[in-house]
Amino acid sequence: MSRIAFIGLGVMGSPMAGHLVRAGHEVTGFDLGQEAMARLRAAGGASAAGVAEAVKGAEIVITMLPADPQVEAVFPEILGSAEPGALYVDFSTITPQTSQKLAREGAARGLRVLDAPVSGGEKGAVDAVLSIMVGGSREDFEAATPVFEAVGRTFKLVGPAGAGQYVKAANQLVVGGTYALVAEAIVLMEAAGVDAAAGLDVLAGGLAASRILDIKRESMLARDFRPGFRIDLHHKDMGIILDAARGADVAVPMGALTAQLIAAARARGHGGLDHSALLKVTESLSGRDS
């Protein structure tokens, strides 16, 4: 079992840290929210007064933060406080370029670095069934395997530093596009007077089946958009996708359209809703606002 520092105890980080405690690891966390740290203490972990205090003495340092600015803000403290040879696992979704920079800077200071963005949303974090796409060395990936086993179900080393972020970009591309198409299917069926609930049940049992249909069709039909993963965050991810595609010199026309739909949802004030709220944009385009 390992001594772990966990920075970022939000919607995803809080249950992940709890799973690590239950797996027998010694977890010390830090978050700007006092309630989040209280939840970790209640789960059997410890809380720290700051990043440096949490990181000191840790064998593994984990971050689960919203975006590049937050990761870049705490990384200097991690570098300055981590033990030589410590392993840094960043579960955040950030740009591949930032992950590559962290890996270079970490290597120069004796810190082993993995980028390990996750997919599965809040439910996946709570149920410890996240999919984890990892960039870094094989040796460091194997060292982090007990952490991945505690919080996820599927985890793969997909390439060198930054590779995990490229795969996460591909994941968000597919997720955003699927939500957009499911939303159109719902609007079409409802406008035609079809039993949309029965229709989605049929779709979920055929070639159109998807994880999104499995876990989100009922809430979308009920227009229940309580956030598991907010539009604001998916908007950020679409920016990463378009930038990654430009850097790789490839065209992603469906991704660009999905990015515009997500931007429209955000512009209409839906940024705090779940990304399934793309349905609201699709309804609006057809003059069927709910």
Predicted pLDDT of residue 121? 87
191, 288 Cβ separation under 8 angstroms: yes
- Quick one: three-class SS letters along the chain? CCEEEEECCCCCHHHHHHHHHHCCCEEEEECCCHHHHHHHHHCCCEECCCHHHHHCCCCEEEECCCCHHHHHHHHHHHHHHCCCCCEEEECCCCCHHHHHHHHHHHHHCCCEEEECCEECHHHHHHHCCEEEEEECCHHHHHHHHHHHHHHEEEEEEEECCCHHHHHHHHHHHHHHHHHHHHHHHHHHHHHCCCCHHHHHHHHHCCCCCCHHHHHHHHHHHCCCCCCCCEHHHHHHHHHHHHHHHHHHCCCCHHHHHHHHHHHHHHHHHHCCCEHHHHHHHHHHHCCCCC
Q: Judge if 178 and 281 occupy the same domain.
A: yes
Q: Which of 49, 93, 85, 89 is nearest to 69 (CA)?
A: 93
Domain span at residue 273? 166-285
Among 161, 190, 205, residue at a domain's last position: 161
Q: Judge if 251 and 209 occupy the same domain.
A: yes
147, 20 Cβ separation under 8 angstroms: yes
Q: Judge if 91 and 182 occupy the same domain.
A: no
Which one of the listed residues 123, 156, 168, 216 is annotated catalytic? 168
Q: Judge if 179 and 271 occupy the same domain.
A: yes
Predicted pLDDT of residue 47? 97
Q: Looking at the domain assignment, is residue 29 inside a domain? A: yes
Give the pLDDT confidence of 163-180 residue by residue, as tens digits.
999 999 999 999 999 999
Q: Judge if 212 and 96 occupy the same domain.
A: no
| CATH at 138 | 3.40.50.720
Q: Looking at the domain assignment, is residue 290 inside a domain? A: no
Q: Judge if 142 and 9 occupy the same domain.
A: yes
Indicate the pTM of the whole model: 0.92
Predicted pLDDT of residue 289? 85
Q: Looking at the domain assignment, is residue 170 inside a domain? A: yes
Q: Judge if 278 and 244 occupy the same domain.
A: yes
168 is catalytic: yes
Q: Judge if 8 and 141 occupy the same domain.
A: yes
Predicted pLDDT of residue 183? 98
| CATH at 172 | 1.10.1040.10
Number of domains, the chain:
2
Region 136-156: mean pLDDT is 98
Q: Looking at the domain assignment, is residue 191 inside a domain? A: yes
Q: Judge if 244 and 220 occupy the same domain.
A: yes
Q: Looking at the domain assignment, is residue 247 inside a domain? A: yes
If you average pLDDT over every residue of the chain, what do you get?
A: 96
Confidence of residue 61 (pLDDT cuts 50, 70, 90): very high
Q: Which of 47, 286, 279, 51 is nearest to 182 (CA)?
A: 279
Give the pLDDT confidence of 85-136 residue by residue, as tens digits.
999 999 999 999 999 999 999 999 999 999 999 999 888 999 999 999 999 9
Confidence of residue 228 (pLDDT cuts 50, 70, 90): confident
Q: Looking at the domain assignment, is residue 248 inside a domain? A: yes
Among 123, 142, 161, residue at a domain's last position: 161
Statement: residue 290 has pLDDT above 80: no
6, 20 Cβ separation under 8 angstroms: yes
Among 161, 196, 226, residue at a domain's last position: 161
Give the pLDDT confidence of 210-222 residue by residue, as tens digits.
999 999 999 999 9
Q: Judge if 182 and 259 occupy the same domain.
A: yes
Q: Judge if 15 and 152 occupy the same domain.
A: yes
Q: Judge if 217 and 259 occupy the same domain.
A: yes
Predicted pLDDT of residue 250? 96
Statement: residue 245 has pLDDT above 80: yes
% of the chain surpassing 70 pLDDT: 100
Interatomic CA distance for residues 276 and 223, integer angstroms: 9
Q: Looking at the domain assignment, is residue 55 inside a domain? A: yes
Q: Looking at the domain assignment, is residue 10 inside a domain? A: yes
Confidence of residue 287 (pLDDT cuts 50, 70, 90): very high
CA distances from 25 to 79, 147, 150 (A): 22, 9, 10
